Chains A and B, each alone.
Chain A
């Protein structure tokens, strides 16, 4: 065990490995990624040390998604059980989407009846993609989701791609309409949905609610399809090159990739080049 702390402030870039002594000062409190033995705080994961006031935590460089209330996530329904759907969200356990936390067709205020409980497959089936927000945490750490907002709900007209969750940073909005007529839903859990742009005014239309559990795709023209593929490959590049993923970087990678054919983007040299350029652009802004 090596001692890092000599009474000086730990810098953010300090990387620790499990069982590294972080501090002997009893004034500090242990947070995530640490444990206490004989009043000393050690790290339990390898990662960077993070200090907020007296709270010390270690953030791992590669960990599964840990949800917090208010996170917007993209998940995939894995199982149906009593009055709830289980949703894979790339976390250590499946999240729960209660039948009572979704909007059902026929008005927001509609009362849930027993027939709804028997036909839950009409709303979400195994394999369906859900855009939702974390509502609360259960006692065992499982997340409870809700889709009670017009922009949440079932995702269609596109595809999902999985990335490292740490590359997606929490921000105010996670539904971005890119200039290329493509919508990107950045789940902070590392699942990203890329789909055809949804018209904003249409979203507020009440009649749209009837279609909100539809499984059929709209007509997708070739240009949109090609743009979705370009965005897909751009995100793939950002993920593999460990660049932060947000609307700016995606757009940046998208534009840098325009001179190439879509299928060329996965070529390692071109991908390398794009990633370097994206990094430069981010640094300059």
Chain B
């Protein structure tokens, strides 16, 4: 594998021979680099073209897109929605937190009309969710309407880290107090 260093605008190859990966862009059938870094050629499945990617020294910047999985912290709850500060997109931390919203109807997939935000999230909870829409001017819309999405870390009102005991309950291991949460299914 060749590891030459390239700078933005460097010609890397043509789309006839390679497909464009991270850190590259295509113009008129030619692949160019967009970041400064090492050029990697990744062999793809047989029958498809190898991928050219450029990996920089810094992690590439994380930008929320529809469909990506995020980790965030609940900052505010409201009768109709919970506000989340998006901290990670995929495995990449954001340079500055983005603003997200979980609307009442996006909390879970079933019995939507019985959802109460207060019984699902509390400020300070860390949750995993998916971006479902670019949303309005300020915020992205998030959804936890899948088993693997929901609260992954929460503290009880006394400040102890709680452990999930069912899909909608968490328990404080010291005081044994049970609180309601929309928990994520542990992997």
Interface on A for B, CB 8 Å cutoff?
81, 114, 118
Set B105, B132, B136: member contacting A81, Cβ < 8 A: B136
Bound-state Cα–Cα, A121 to B75, Å = 29
A118 touches B136 (CB 8 A): no
Q: Chain B contact residues (Cβ within 8 angstroms of A): what range?
A: under 10
A118 touches B105 (CB 8 A): no
Chain A contacts of B133 at CB under 8 A?
118
Q: Could you show 5 A-B contacts with beta carbons less than 8 Å apart?
A: A81-B136, A114-B105, A118-B132, A118-B133, A118-B141
Encoded as 1 (CB less than 8 Å from any A CB) or 0, chain B from 128 to 165 comes to: 00001100100001000000000000000000000000
Bound-state Cα–Cα, A140 to B105, Å = 28
Chain B contacts of A81 at CB under 8 A?
136
Tell me the smallest distance from the CB of B176 to a CB of chain A, in Å. 38
Tell me the smallest distance from the CB of A80 to a CB of chain B, in Å. 8
Specify the chain B residue showing the minimal Cβ separation from A80: B136
Specify the chain A residue showing the minimal Cβ separation from B141: A118
Chain A contacts of B136 at CB under 8 A?
81
Tell me the smallest distance from the CB of B40 to a CB of chain A, in Å. 35
Bound-state Cα–Cα, A114 to B141, Å = 13
Bound-state Cα–Cα, A81 to B103, Å = 14
Bound-state Cα–Cα, A114 to B145, Å = 13
Chain B contacts of A118 at CB under 8 A?
132-133, 141
Chain A contacts of B105 at CB under 8 A?
114
Bound-state Cα–Cα, A84 to B166, Å = 38
Bound-state Cα–Cα, A114 to B136, Å = 17
Tell me the smallest distance from the CB of B145 to a CB of chain A, in Å. 10
Specify the chain A residue showing the minimal Cβ separation from B143: A118
Bound-state Cα–Cα, A114 to B103, Å = 13
Specify the chain B residue showing the minimal Cβ separation from A121: B134
| CB-based closest 3 A-B pairs | A118-B133, A118-B132, A114-B105
Bound-state Cα–Cα, A81 to B141, Å = 13
Bound-state Cα–Cα, A256 to B140, Å = 55
Chain A contacts of B141 at CB under 8 A?
118
Specify the chain A residue showing the minimal Cβ separation from B105: A114
Bound-state Cα–Cα, A114 to B132, Å = 11
Bound-state Cα–Cα, A38 to B132, Å = 60
Tell me the smallest distance from the CB of A266 to a CB of chain B, in Å. 39
Tell me the smallest distance from the CB of A4 to a CB of chain B, in Å. 51
Specify the chain A residue showing the minimal Cβ separation from B66: A118
Chain B contacts of A114 at CB under 8 A?
105
Bound-state Cα–Cα, A220 to B143, Å = 44
Specify the chain B residue showing the minimal Cβ separation from A81: B136
Specify the chain B residue showing the minimal Cβ separation from A118: B133
Tell me the smallest distance from the CB of B142 to a CB of chain A, in Å. 12
Bound-state Cα–Cα, A118 to B103, Å = 12
Tell me the smallest distance from the CB of B80 to a CB of chain A, in Å. 11
Tell me the smallest distance from the CB of A20 to a CB of chain B, in Å. 46
Bound-state Cα–Cα, A112 to B132, Å = 18
Specify the chain B residue showing the minimal Cβ separation from A114: B105
Bound-state Cα–Cα, A118 to B141, Å = 9
Encoded as 1 (CB less than 8 Å from any A CB) or 0, chain B from 18 to 44 comes to: 000000000000000000000000000
Bound-state Cα–Cα, A118 to B133, Å = 6
Bound-state Cα–Cα, A118 to B142, Å = 11
Bound-state Cα–Cα, A39 to B71, Å = 68
Tell me the smallest distance from the CB of B146 to a CB of chain A, in Å. 14
Tell me the smallest distance from the CB of B22 to a CB of chain A, in Å. 27
Bound-state Cα–Cα, A114 to B113, Å = 14
Chain A contacts of B132 at CB under 8 A?
118
Tell me the smallest distance from the CB of B78 to a CB of chain A, in Å. 15
Tell me the smallest distance from the CB of A77 to a CB of chain B, in Å. 15
Bound-state Cα–Cα, A118 to B136, Å = 11
Bound-state Cα–Cα, A118 to B135, Å = 9
Tell me the smallest distance from the CB of A148 to a CB of chain B, in Å. 25
Bound-state Cα–Cα, A114 to B133, Å = 12
Specify the chain A residue showing the minimal Cβ separation from B132: A118
Bound-state Cα–Cα, A266 to B136, Å = 42
Encoded as 1 (CB less than 8 Å from any A CB) or 0, chain B from 110 to 135 comes to: 00000000000000000000001100
Specify the chain A residue showing the minimal Cβ separation from B112: A114
Tell me the smallest distance from the CB of A116 to a CB of chain B, in Å. 12
Bound-state Cα–Cα, A114 to B105, Å = 10
Tell me the smallest distance from the CB of B56 to a CB of chain A, in Å. 32
